[in-house]
Amino acid sequence: MVDVQELNRQIRMALETGDVILGANKTIRALKMGEPKLVIISMDCPEDIREDVEYYAELAEIPVFVYPGTSIELGDACGRPHVVATMAVLDDGESNLLNIVEQAREEGVEVQG
């Protein structure tokens, strides 16, 4: 089971020390270029955006992690006063985010790619 508090800390650290893109349009654009190491989408991400993200992520063989919360909660985890439905991690910086997602995959949590 993913520890949501630890996940939130690692997301915040990746934003502060790494290279992270927020927002569906920018995430999809980065996916088309094959740039991200990981994409995170909220549980309530709109279906059309989710389908596009999953499609381009599959083409580029980039894992997609479903954040265990709403886009409001993901926005809060990012320290933003607005919703965040998708985010692309280009570089996780000093965070342990990629390892946490890999561990979640091994535990059977929804991670595609």
Rounded Cα–Cα distance for residues 64 and 62 (Å): 7
| pLDDT for the residue numbered 105 | 79
What are the residue ranges of helices labelled H in 20-96? 24-33, 47-60, 71-77
| pLDDT for the residue numbered 102 | 86
Encoded tokens for 75:
């926005």
Domain-wise residue ranges, the chain: 4-112
Using CA atoms, how far residue 4 sits from 11, 27, 52, 60, in Å, is: 10, 22, 25, 27
Using CA atoms, how far residue 36 sits from 3, 5, 23, 42, in Å, is: 23, 23, 13, 17
What average pLDDT does the segment 96-103 reach?
A: 89
| pLDDT for the residue numbered 89 | 97
Interacting residues of 19 by C-beta distance below 8 A, sequence separation 6+: 89, 90, 91, 93
- The structure's pTM equals 0.92
User: CATH fold of 4-112, please?
Assistant: 60s Ribosomal Protein L30; Chain: A; (3.30.1330)
Element at 66 (helix H, strand E): strand 64-67
What average pLDDT does the segment 101-107 reach?
A: 82
